[in-house]
């Protein structure tokens, strides 16, 4: 997740992810992988607290979004 900064969507929906792995992913989302905005996980997470922490970290990344120059396009001068 850290090496490829252009990849913002990860799909692990059909993989086996444990609560411990989701905790590690959550710490990465909060510290190094702030570019990730979508992360699909399987619905088999047992600990609801781990899942809510993951959702909070992912929502923080979504809200950060792209901030840039939003200028208006003018007519080209001849």
pLDDT digits (tens, 9 = 90+) for 7-66: 788 888 888 888 898 899 889 888 888 888 888 888 888 888 988 998 898 888 888 766
Is residue 69 situated within a structural domain? no
The confidence score (pLDDT) of residue 70 equals 61
Q: What is the dihedral of CA 58, 25, 50, 13, to 10 degrees?
A: 80
Q: How far is CA 7 from CA 27, 34, 70, in A?
A: 18, 11, 23
- Domain span holding position 27: 14-64
Whether the predicted model's global pTM rises above the 0.75 cut: no
Is residue 23 situated within a structural domain? yes
The confidence score (pLDDT) of residue 66 equals 60
Is residue 24 situated within a structural domain? yes
DSSP conformation letters of 12-54: -TTS---HHHHHHHHHHHHHT-TT--EEE--S----HHHHHHH
């Amino acid at each position: 997740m850290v090496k490829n900064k252009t990849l913002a969507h990860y799909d692990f929906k059909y993989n086996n992810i444990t609560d411990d792995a989701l905790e590690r992913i959550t710490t990465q989302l909060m510290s190094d992988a702030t570019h990730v905005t979508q992360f699909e996980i399987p619905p088999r997470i047992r600990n609801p607290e781990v899942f809510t922490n993951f959702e909070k970290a992912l929502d923080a990344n979504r809200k950060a979004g792209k901030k840039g120059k939003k200028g208006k396009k003018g007519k080209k001068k001849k």
